[in-house]
Structure formats: structure tokens, C-alpha cells
């Protein structure tokens, strides 16, 4: 496995793979890798001959008061995990390689519709940062396929839409959420939780499962009540809920009576740590 930091070197290596007829997959990450990330690499290995994992803590997707400065940078440990997983190439550029003229002068990609509401409402500018850097990575790597986790459900919807709208020749694959034994979705930010908070954290998934169960037996007209009850349960458990929304899985718009493919989206703070999760429901 090789690690490169410069775009020119990355393109030279990938050009050689393409000349050999190799199929290339991209797994974009911000590093601090856990088993959920490794599952994305495993899925990419099923879909391609060469897997490029990018490790880049993208400043454009962090708000002014978010955790950019303290976000863990663990490149050496990440490299070891990726090599064991069979990853081919790591692209770990410095910020200056991605944004050589600074963020203020950077062209941005805006994805209307699916980027609005939910996490988009609570984190203004976040999905513009995600969409911009993913579009750049698609251009830099020019992969045949790219793999993203379904835990970040709204992010996946944003990436699918930008790929479709911009006619990018990339197959986007969503990989299932990987969870701890108690149901907590794996996330790099779980490391911020105290021991007591970690014991409580799985309540988020339990509440989502309860909502999903109710949805399978209730008329969508009652969805607003289910959302309110779920938020109240989270608050009683010590969370500070940001939202619990039941949406059409494709559009991410509020669920309608005719919808059959639904997703329950949630975000909540536990202490200072923001957790997100989702669960899909077939009616």
C-alpha cells in the first residue's frame, strides 16, 4: 500500500492502473478510522480492483464553533488499518493541496433540496463543504465507483444527487451502518463521549427502532406525534435532541400518506457530542 500527498503523484499512479484496465474505487474519509470505515473499504474491494481511500479533514464542512481543531488526526494508525484491510492507495493531502487559494476563493458546489433541513438546518454550509470536496475528489481520482456509509444518510443523498445532476460517471454505493453490540452507530465522534455518556448513547438507536415499529402500524397522519414523542424520550434520557424527522427516503421531504419507503432521521447532543443516526422502514 502506498500513501501520497500530492495530486500530481496520485494522478500518475492512477493513470498506470487505468492503462492496465483496472477498475478504481474511492472511499472518502476524514481519518480516525474505525470498523465502519473498514467496512467501506471491504465493500469497495468487492466492486473494484484498486481502492483509493482519501484521508482529509475538510475545513469547509465545519462550522465556526465546531470541532475542526480537535478532530482527531491519526494518519499512522489509519495507514496500518487500511493496509491490513487490503487498501491499495491512501491519498492524504494537506489543506493547501485541496484549497491552494484558501476557502474564501474556492468555487463551491450547492445541492438544493436534499441538503436542506435536518442536518442542513443545524449546520449551515456543511453540505456545501461536503459536496464541494467530494466533487473535487471525484475529479482528482476519477473513480469508477465510490462507497459511502448509510449512517450519514442525508450526506449520501446529497452525493447521489450531485453525481446525477452533474452527470458524473461514478457509481455511488451506500454501505450499511456498522454498529456496536448495543446498537450505537460507529462514529469517530463517539470517542468524545464520557464513560457515562457512552452507556446512554445506545438509547438513540433504541428510540429510532421504536419509531420504526410504530410506523409499520400507524397512519402517516400521526407521524408528527411520533416525532414529538421520540424527541421527548431522548430528552428524558439525557439527550438534547436537535431533530427526529420521518421522511421519504428518496427526497428527504416529510413523509406523506402515500409514501412506502421511509427513513427516520435523528440528531441529538449527548453532553457536547453530536450524534446522528437513522433507520429505514418499508410500509
Just list the catalytic residues. 37
Q: How far apart are CA 106 and CA 28, in angstroms?
A: 20
Q: How far apart are CA 152 and CA 265, in angstroms?
A: 10
DSSP state of 44: H
- What counts of helices (H) and strands (E) characterise the chain? 10, 9
Q: List CB contacts of 88: < 8 A, sequence separation 6 or more.
A: 1, 2, 50, 51, 52
The CA angle 113-204-232, to the nearest 5 degrees, is 85
Q: How far apart are CA 236 and CA 78, in angstroms?
A: 37
CB 109 within 8 Å of CB 132 = yes
CB atoms within 10 A of CB 5: 12
DSSP state of 22: -
Amino acid at each position: 500500500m502506498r500513501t501520497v500527498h500530492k495530486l500530481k503523484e496520485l494522478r500518475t499512479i492512477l493513470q498506470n492502473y487505468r492503462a492496465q484496465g483496472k477498475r478504481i474505487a474511492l472511499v472518502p474519509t476524514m481519518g480516525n478510522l474505525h470498523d465502519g470505515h473498514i467496512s467501506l473499504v471491504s465493500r469497495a474491494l468487492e466492486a473494484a480492483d484498486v481502492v483509493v481511500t482519501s484521508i482529509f479533514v475538510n475545513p469547509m464542512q465545519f462550522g465556526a464553533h465546531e470541532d475542526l481543531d480537535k478532530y482527531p488526526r491519526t494518519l499512522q494508525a489509519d495507514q496500518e488499518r487500511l493496509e491490513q484491510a487490503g487498501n491499495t492507495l491512501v491519498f492524504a493531502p494537506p489543506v493547501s493541496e485541496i484549497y491552494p487559494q484558501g476557502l474564501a476563493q474556492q468555487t463551491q458546489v450547492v445541492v438544493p433540496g436534499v441538503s436542506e433541513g435536518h442536518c442542513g438546518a443545524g449546520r449551515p454550509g456543511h453540505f456545501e463543504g461536503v459536496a464541494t470536496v467530494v466533487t473535487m475528489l471525484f475529479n482528482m481520482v476519477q473513480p469508477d465507483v465510490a462507497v459511502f456509509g448509510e449512517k450519514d444518510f442525508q450526506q449520501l443523498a446529497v452525493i447521489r444527487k450531485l453525481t446525477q445532476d452533474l452527470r458524473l460517471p461514478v457509481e455511488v454505493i451506500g454501505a450499511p451502518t456498522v454498529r456496536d453490540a448495543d446498537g450505537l452507530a460507529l462514529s469517530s465522534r463517539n470517542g468524545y463521549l464520557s464513560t457515562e455518556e457512552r452507556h446512554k448513547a445506545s438509547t438513540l438507536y433504541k428510540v429510532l427502532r421504536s419509531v420504526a415499529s410504530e410506523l409499520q402500524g400507524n397512519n402517516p397522519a400521526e407521524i408528527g406525534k411520533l416525532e414529538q414523542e421520540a424527541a421527548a424520550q431522548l430528552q428524558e434520557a439525557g439527550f438534547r435532541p436537535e431533530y427526529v424527522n420521518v421522511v421519504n427516503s428518496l427526497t428527504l421531504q416529510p413523509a406523506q400518506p402515500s409514501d412506502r419507503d421511509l427513513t427516520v432521521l435523528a440528531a441529538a447532543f449527548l453532553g457536547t457530542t453530536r450524534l446522528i443516526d437513522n433507520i429505514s422502514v418499508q410500509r
